[in-house]
Structure 1
Amino acid sequence: MFAAFPTAILLSFSSAHAETSLQVYGPGGPTPAMKACAAAYEKSNSVKVQITAGPLEKWQAQSETADLFYSGSENMMDSFAEKISSLDTTSIQTHYLRPSAILVRPKNPLKIRGIKDLVDKKMKVIVVNGAGQVGMWEDIVGGLKSAEALNKFRSNIVFAAKNTGEAEKRWKEDPSIDAWLVFNIWGTRNPESAQIIPTEKNLTIYRSMGTALAKNTKQKEAAIQFVDFIKSKECRKLF
C-alpha cells in the first residue's frame, strides 16, 4: 500500500509544473508577425502566448485579463492608454516601424508605380482613416507639397475605412477597387488578391509597433521575457 501525498504537496507539485499562459491583446495589423513570434517563443519556453486581435471594441471588455498589450502606432497606443485603465504607460516601448505601401491587384493592371500615379490617374482607392492610420494618407500625399495633389487624391477615394480589417473586407469583396494605401504587411496577408508597390522613399510614412505591460498582470516577469523575445533577432526576421 502506498502512502497518500498530503494535499498541500500535491498542489505545490501541480503548480510548479503548470504551464504559464500570457494573455496578449492588440490590433489586427501586426498580428501575423506577433502570432509567429509567439509560436516561436512557445517552442523553447513553457509559456503559452494567447494573442487576441482586432479593433479595441472587440476585446476591451476582456482587457482586465491582459498581461501585455501591443499597438500599431504611437497614436493608437496613446488611445489605448486613455481607454484601458490597466495599461502601464511607463512600460511603453516601440520595437519596429511599419512602412506605408500601395496594394494593387495581381499583375498591377494599371501599372501603378507610386503615390504620384494615385494622384494623376483616375482610379478607385481605399484608405484607412482610423486605428493606426489616422491622418496617414494626408501625411503621405502632403509630402508632394501640393494642395492640388491632395484634392486629386481625395477625388479617387471610394472608401475610407475605420480600421484595416474593414478595409480588407471591402478590398476582397469589391474587385473594381484598384488600389489600397496601407502598410506592407497587408499585402503579405493577401497574396492572392494584392501585389505590394512601395511608396516613394521621400513619401513613405512609418508607424510604430510597440508593447505595454498590464499594471495588474500576475505574470510580469514572464511578460517582460516575452517582450525581450519580441526584440530578438529571431522575431526581427518575422516582423
Structure 2
Amino acid sequence: MKKILNLFGACAVFASLAFADINMYGPGGPHFALQEIAKKYEKKTGTKVNLTFGPQATWVEKAKKDADILFGASDQSALAITTDFDKKFDVKKIEPLYFRKAIILTQKGNPLKIKGLEDLAKKGVKIVVPEGAGKSNTSGTGVWEDMIGRTQNIKMIQDFRNNIVAFTPNSGAAKKLFLEKKADAWITWIDWAKANPDYGDVVNIEKKLVVYRTFNVVAKNDADKQIQDFITYLKSDDAYKVFKKYGYRK
C-alpha cells in the first residue's frame, strides 16, 4: 500500500509539473502579439502562459518571485530589465527574435501634413517621445536622438528637441498624452499603430534616419523543457504570422 501511495504521489507531482503555467513578464508593445500567441499555444498544447506587461515598476516584485521568461521591446531595455534579475536570469542569454521599425503617429488626418522626421523640427510642431531618462527601462530611450542625429545637422537637432513637449517614462504615458491631443506627433513603434489603427495616421520615417529595435526573450537559468518549448514556439512560423501582423520582421 505504501508503494502504491508513493507512486500515486509521484504521478501527482509529475502531472502538476506537466501542466504548470508559464509566467512571462515584460513591457507593453510586444504584448499585442504575445496575447494572441499565448492563446494559440494554450489551445495547441494545454499549457497556459500568464502574460504580465506594462511599466517594470508595476510587476517587478511579483516577477522576482515567479517569472519564467522575461521579454523586451529592445535590446538596451531588455539588458536593463534582466540586470535587475541577475541572480535568476543571465543577460548573456537574451535572444533577439524579431525586429520592427520606429514610426511617427500623427493626429487623424495628419493636419500638419507631416511627411517624415525632419518635418518634426519645423516651428510649431509638438512631439511626445518615450524616454527612460535613467529611471525607466523603456525601448524608446535614445530613439529620437539616434534618428534625428543622423541628419548631422545640429540646428535641426536643436529645433527637434525644442519641439518635444513631453519625455514620458513609457509608451503608455506617451499614448495618453497623444490621445488627449497634447501633441501633434508621437514617436513610437509600428506595433502600437497596427494594434490601434484608430489612434492616428502612420507616417514612415525616412529610410536614412529610421531605427529598428528588437523583440527578445530570456528564460530563467533553471528553465525546464516546458519553458524552452514555448520559446521554441515563439520562433515558429505559426507565431511569426502573428508577429508579422503587428509589423515585426525577421
TM-score when scaled to structure 2? 0.86
Please give the per-residue CA displacement for 1:54-102, whole angstroms capped at 9, x wherever unaligned: 1111111112301111011111121123211311334211001120000
The answer to whether structure 1 residue 175 and structure 2 residue 186 are counterparts is no
- Aligned-residue sequence identity (percent) comes to 29
CA distance in 2, matches of 1:47, 1:207: 29
> 1:84 is matched with which residue?
85
Structure 1 residue identity aligned to 2:32? P
**Pairing of 1:149-164 with structure 2 (within 5 A):** 149-164=156-171
> 1:197 is matched with which residue?
203
CA distance in 2, matches of 1:231, 1:160: 34
CA distance in 2, matches of 1:11, 1:195: 58
> 1:184 is matched with which residue?
190
What secondary structure sits across from 1:132 in the alignment?
A: coil
CA distance in 2, matches of 1:121, 1:17: 64
What secondary structure sits across from 2:48 in the alignment?
A: strand
Structure 2 residue identity aligned to 1:126? V
CA deviation after TM superposition for structure 1 residue 189, in Å = 3.1
Number of residue pairs the alignment of both structures matches:
233
**Pairing of 1:79-228 with structure 2 (within 5 A):** 79-85=80-86, 86-130=88-132, 131-172=138-179, 174-217=180-223, 220-228=224-232
TM-score when scaled to structure 1? 0.90
CA distance in 2, matches of 1:203, 1:61: 38
Structure 2 contact 83–91 (Cα < 8 Å) conserved: no
Query: Unaligned 5+ residue runs, structure 1?
Result: 1-5
What secondary structure sits across from 2:217 in the alignment?
A: strand
Task: Out of 89-98 and 177-186, give the one that drifted further.
Answer: 89-98
Please give the per-residue CA displacement for 1:29-66, whole angstroms capped at 9, x wherever unaligned: 21111111111211211210010111111111112301
Task: Out of 17-26 and 151-160, give the one that drifted further.
Answer: 17-26
CA deviation after TM superposition for structure 1 residue 20, in Å = 2.6
Structure 1 contact 80–87 (Cα < 8 Å) conserved: no
Structure 1 residue identity aligned to 2:110? N
What secondary structure sits across from 2:155 in the alignment?
A: helix
